[in-house]
Structure 1
Amino acid sequence: MSHHPVFPVSIVIVNYNAGVLLNACVNSCLNEARQIIVVDNGSCDDSIDEIKRVFHNTNKIQIIENNKNLGFAVACNIGLHVATEPMVLFLNPDCKLLDGALQKMVVALNSDVRIGMVGGLLINEKGMEERGCRRAVPTPWRSFVRVFGLYRYSNRWPRLFYDFNLHHQPLPSNAIEMEAISGACMLTKLKAVEDVGLWDEGYFLHCEDLDWCMRYRKQGWKILFEPNAQIIHQQGACSKSRPIFVEWHKHKGMMRFYRKFFYHQYPLGLMGAVSAGVWFRFIAIASWKYLKRLKFSLRGYQKVRKF
């Protein structure tokens, strides 16, 4: 009987009201890594109680409970401070490692001393690749191209109208170097973190993974995308109850990212146009989501009245 390898990896899972998804996530990691760290950001559901109940027989899981939601980056750093293994996997609670996924990422990470980070193939429950698990850095110009739909001309002028989302391109057969991967599933070497620095806690939610990818590459570390490491990701499952809150921090994070890395590299006019586009996009999305929730609430109210 073959022995399943347990890898020298600390898995950091930042939880916020993930419900039963957290249980499934932890269960998929249990026989893969030496240490599992669950950092809870002030959840008000029973997800942490369930973890304590279901996995009470193992000492592999360490639970850290924050009194309030400190943000994703802060929680990741809290997990990093107690990580004991030479490799750390940051995994969203709405993710589930499929068989062999961690092993393939570990092999890719250790294939070169200058590889500092590896991401896997995030798929939905239908097996379709999710947007964002392999991407180019969304520079202000690339974001301008994306927001105004100019990426549709990328086939004719690929260098000018390059789309930073790469999920529509054919999957590579093996691990390839990438500008950026998703923070939903990100394996890194602890010594790379020591060189690059911790997650930027100025981000509350979203874009902190892009920030880290930029800093890794600036320090000379390579980032790989391993298409053979598959992870089921129920994207948005943990944030659907607070859509406008999430969109606010997503767009605020975008602005921090642009100002931090590109403010002095692009013309002021373009930066202004991108900033206006970001906030216009937020207003449009927030308005649509607000009206959608209002419509849903009114339907519920009408049903109650009829009853």
Structure 2
Amino acid sequence: MHVPQESCHNIENRYKQSISVIIVNYNAGPLLTQCVQAALQQTEQVIVIDNASSDSSLPELEARFPADSHLQIVRLDSNAGFAAGCNIGLGTSTQPYILFLNPDCILQENSLQRMAQVLESDSHIGMVGGFLINPDGSEQGGGRRAIPTPWRAFVRAFGLYHLAIYWPQLFFDFHLDKQPLPQSPVEVEAISGALMLVRREAIDDVGSWDENYFLHCEDLDWCMRFKQKNWKIVFVPDAPVTHFQGTCSRSRPFFVAWHKHKGMRRFYRKFFQHQYPRALMGLVTFAIWLRFGITVIRYSLQNCYKLLKPKHE
């Protein structure tokens, strides 16, 4: 998919007034201010939905932008979850394009305008995602991916993706970041909820975020529904965004792990239980909760090690 770039000046003028940025915050710390500052350089409407944060992220943000008409903060009395927060922001937004952005993501210069240019290049494109990178500049997993069907998840879990060199269709790895970075925008099955620029017209057709997910897998759910409605999803490799992944979840790893695996179970039951044998879906459910149990054990051992580790080390 070739989408020629315009000059940075033309892109900025064309899109700055057409994009609402929605940031759902939960204890993101100083990164929230950095995130908002970078966003305000590329758009004129930023909406922060705060899920009852208990840290200094909101006070720091308000101190940095005490009376900015382009920034709107919505404080929730309790943590409603990521999907619900996105929907609240969606109801507050006014522009035809909406960027859902994690508070630990920092837009690089002109990345948002480049994403908008690609979105506007084809009326059948419903959402685009940029090039998520780690702080060291390496590509982050999840920014471009295929849908993890039960079979693909099985292949990944048991390392069978190594056989893809012989049977690429059968043992396909849904982690597309393992493949060479494309030179131009390319259609994919899914992108990350940390960075989604979405056409409002497509949202009106597909529906809003599924609030039955509290945290994790709601982005895969949305991508599935976009594909079911024949909207294209495009990954833009020349729109880099730095993602300090996990900033908002480090303080509550067990809580996050529980909702992640609960979301996985809902995703597989919602989209695949009628396509696969009941026995296989039962095995998928068992594997999800087994994975959760292993995750809990790992976190517990890590905590024990930290407590027992001599302080002088």
Q: TM-score normalized by structure 1?
A: 0.96
User: Aligned-pair distance for 1:272?
Assistant: 1.7
Distance (whole Å) between structure 1 residues aligned to residue 300 and residue 127 of structure 2: 37
User: Aligned-pair distance for 1:294?
Assistant: 2.0
Give yes or no for the alignment of 1:200 onto 2:203.
no
Give yes or no for the alignment of 1:166 onto 2:176.
yes
Structural mapping, 1:259-298, within 5 Å: 259-298=269-308
Give the one of 124, 128, 132 matched to 1:122.
132
Structure 2 unmatched ranges of 5 or more = 1-8
User: Aligned-pair distance for 1:96?
Assistant: 0.2
CA contact (8 A) 1:147 1:277 kept: no
CA contact (8 A) 1:177 1:223 kept: yes
Change (3 A) 1:288 1:174: same
Quote the residue 2:259 is aligned against.
Answer: 249
Quote the residue 1:233 is aligned against.
Answer: 243
SS of equivalent to 1:128: coil
SS of equivalent to 1:181: coil
Give yes or no for the alignment of 1:57 onto 2:80.
no
Give the one of 216, 223, 226 matched to 2:226.
216
Give the one of 188, 195, 198 matched to 1:185.
195
User: Aligned-pair distance for 1:297?
Assistant: 2.1
Query: Which deviations, in whole Å up to 9, do the C-alpha atoms of 1:160-182 show, x marking residues without a partner?
Result: 11111110100111101010000
Quote the residue 1:80 is aligned against.
Answer: 90
Query: Which deviations, in whole Å up to 9, do the C-alpha atoms of 1:202-237 show, x marking residues without a partner?
Result: 000000000000001111110000000000001111
Query: Which deviations, in whole Å up to 9, do the C-alpha atoms of 1:89-131 show, x marking residues without a partner?
Result: 0000000000110011000000111100000010011110000
Distance (whole Å) between structure 2 residues aligned to residue 241 and residue 150 of structure 1: 34
| RMSD between superposed Cα atoms in Å | 1.2
User: Which one-letter code corresponds to 2:47 in the other structure?
Assistant: I
Distance (whole Å) between structure 1 residues aligned to residue 111 and residue 178 of structure 2: 22
Distance (whole Å) between structure 1 residues aligned to residue 61 and residue 262 of structure 2: 33
User: Which one-letter code corresponds to 1:168 in the other structure?
Assistant: K
SS of equivalent to 1:88: strand
User: Aligned-pair distance for 1:151?
Assistant: 1.2
Runs of 4+ in structure 1 deviating by more than 6 angstroms, as ranges, are none
Quote the residue 2:5 is aligned against.
Answer: none
Quote the residue 1:146 is aligned against.
Answer: 156
Q: TM-score normalized by structure 2?
A: 0.94
Give yes or no for the alignment of 1:11 onto 2:18.
no
Distance (whole Å) between structure 2 residues aligned to residue 247 and residue 156 of structure 1: 35
User: Aligned-pair distance for 1:140?
Assistant: 0.8
SS of equivalent to 2:89: helix
Query: Which deviations, in whole Å up to 9, do the C-alpha atoms of 1:48-104 show, x marking residues without a partner?
Result: 111111011311000000111110000000000000000000000000000110011
Distance (whole Å) between structure 1 residues aligned to residue 296 and residue 163 of structure 2: 28
Quote the residue 2:186 is aligned against.
Answer: 176
SS of equivalent to 1:161: coil
SS of equivalent to 2:241: strand
Give yes or no for the alignment of 1:21 onto 2:17.
no
Distance (whole Å) between structure 2 residues aligned to residue 22 and residue 70 of structure 1: 18
User: Which one-letter code corresponds to 1:70 in the other structure?
Assistant: A
CA contact (8 A) 1:154 1:161 kept: yes
Distance (whole Å) between structure 2 residues aligned to residue 193 and residue 134 of structure 1: 20
Give the one of 104, 108, 111 matched to 2:121.
111
